[in-house]
Amino acid sequence: MDLPILKDILIIFGLSIAVLFVCLRLKLPTIVGFLVTGILAGPHGLGFIENVENVDRMAEVGVVLLLFTIGIEFSLRDFFRIRRVLLVGGSLQVLLTILFFCLADFSTGVAFNRALFMGFLFSLSSTAIVLRLLQERAEIDTPHGKTILGILIYQDLMIVPMILLVPILAGAGGNLTSSLALLLVKGAAVLLVVLGSARWLVPRLLFQVTRTRNREIFLLTVVVIGLAVAALTQALGLSIALGAFFAGLIISESEYSDEALAHILPFRDLFISFFFVSVGMLLNLHFFFQYAAKIVFFVVLAILGKSAIAALAAFFLGYPLQTMILTGFALSQVGEFAFVLSHAGVRQGLITPSRYQFFLSVSILTMIATPFVYQFAVRLGNRVTRLPLPRRLATGLHDPERAAGPSRKDHLIIVGYGVGGRHVSQAAKASGIPYVIIEMNPETVRAEREKGEPIFYGDATHEAVLRHAGVREARILVITIPHAASTRGITARAKRMNPLIHVVARTRYVQEVAPLHELGADEVVPEEFETSVEIFARVLKNYLVPREEIEQFIGEVRAGGYEMFRTLSPEAGSCYDLRHCLPGVNVHSIRVGRGAPVTGRTLAQTEMRKRHGVTVLAYQRQGVVRSNPEVDMVFLEGDLVFLMGAPESVSSVIPLFEERVVGPPPGG
């Protein structure tokens, strides 16, 4: 059986590997590599692939999956969180860009409907390229990163009405009113289905599916939901891509959206690569070189025009000049959805073949130029901050962080909500530590969400689930699940996404401690070891051994036992955990209780270091931490004191800080 498509796929993937390797060395986005691959492999390049139709079909699947994942990632909660940036900034950027390019095209004698369509195309920027660029530079949480994200979300949403308006623009004339009325009726019908499904049908369906704990059934159910909504929109005469977006939006309103996204992302990434390859194949190199000067001129015009308009939108949001510059140049390229829209315009006759080639040439060059343009923007932004600017330009009209909405940072991630996870969350809540929970039991997720717990359904072995939990901004990750392979996978992925995160992992057996440390776990708590500690503690208690001696013995055993299981590599020079660098030394925090022996006494009077071999590193009083205290520092009730010393030494001084209501404090 001869299958030419297999040969095409082999050529595309083989050539992509070589091109992407070069792009990686030049620090260019992978999307640029796929575009170059298409240019080289296509009929206008080296001619490796002559039948572009097969690639186009796979590219259409990629567009559908892209819109589906955008629908899943977007939710009404996100809309309200960044509504000001999204509505004000996004509306200004899109409308002003449409107006600018529409008038520029209309002034050359082009019909108004065609000029307006060209404005639609140039108003869209590349979500894939820009977000990848911001993620690599760790700038998503910056003021300009949040502004860019809000405007990109608005652009992605605007592709929906733009696609719906293409047939109306193509037949603008006597039936405009009836077409708009029919469009509104269809849109209202689809919206009712979406809202009803998101509110009642899909959450109940996915709840029953997740109870089976079968990934294949879950994936098939998500795909069927997407296909069903896409079929509905197609039956109403709307686009399949629009149906995919609505299907994603339905799933996004359930607690299973992150798990669905994690399953779809590998397929999306695969097929979206075909989309960018197919776009590159459409570029006619002969046409490009024939009109190279004119194309380069319009590339510069597009970059400068879009940058100025996006910067103006940031100005009206109240951001300083540096944020305006970064926002403007980051959104200066033409995006992937413009290619989707241009396909619809070609089919409807809104854009001629020559104008289409011109648009492709300009768009692809703006995409390739994006990393270099943004690097220039960073240097320009740093320089303008040193100029004597007016106050409003230098600092903006208001606090940009407040405008962009709150962000989660330095929080705790808890994987698993069994007994251990519940105890950790209760301790975090009592201490005022922000936390989020990842759980695979749908009944638990539903019950705890109703109680107000920050919990969502997902498999933490998937990067998409960890990303949603904010692993890049988190301080600590606690893994309480009993499954060893999953614990290892979560540890490795979390450390790869955030090398500075402190990972505390639970495991059942002692022999699993070393592999987890090798994967990057900072602390591993083996149940087998802790169970034996608890057993002998209870035995000693029944033999009437004093509680203080039992606790001291436990501290010594833990300190010695855990060192035996810890196998750090020789290259590990970081002192992120002090115990790795100073084995046998314990850092302990304790609060001065009511009537404690140390209350009202100075540090010198307690003779901590001289009599007990314990050093007071710091203390916290009324929320203020004071390190390396003087010898005349007086201990007060409620102080949080940080002690350092050998485990047995620290254990010996703990009674001095404990609450003692009866009896006067002993003399010192």
The answer to which of 73-77, 140-144, 225-229 has the lowest mean pLDDT is 73-77
Encode pLDDT of 498-539 as tens digits.
888 999 888 877 778 888 888 888 888 887 666 666 676 776
In whole angstroms, what is the distance from residue 658 CA to residue 668 CA?
16
Tell me the range of 171-185, 231-245, 381-395, 495-509 where mean pLDDT is highest: 495-509
Of 249, 210, 194, 242, the C-alpha closest to 77 is 249
CB 55 within 8 A of CB 8: yes
Domains of the chain in sequence order: 4-391 (1.20.1530.20), 412-577 (3.40.50.720), 585-656 (3.30.70.1450)
Q: Summarize the confidence of residues 530-555 as an average pLDDT.
A: 68
Residue 436 has pLDDT above 90, yes or no: yes
> Residues 6 or more apart from 596 whose CB is under 8 A from it?
635, 637, 656, 657, 658, 659, 660, 665
Q: Summarize the confidence of residues 534-551 as an average pLDDT.
A: 68
CB 334 within 8 A of CB 366: yes
- Of residues 43 and 194, more confidence is placed in 43
- pLDDT given at position 655: 84
Encode pLDDT of 625-647 as tens digits.
888 888 888 999 888 888 888 87
Is 570 exposed, middle or buried (CB count within 10 Å of its CB: 0-12, 13-18, 19+)?
Answer: exposed
- pLDDT given at position 174: 47
What's the whole-number average pLDDT of the chain?
Answer: 79
The runs of H, that is alpha helices, within 51-126 are 52-73, 76-81, 83-84, 90-106, 112-122
In whole angstroms, what is the distance from residue 182 CA to residue 343 CA?
23
Q: Is the pTM of this model over 0.85?
A: no
Of 76, 98, 82, the C-alpha closest to 149 is 82
Helices (H) and strands (E) in the chain, counts: 31, 10
Q: How confident is the model at residue 178 (pLDDT cuts 50, 70, 90)?
A: low
Percentage of the chain beyond pLDDT 70 is: 80
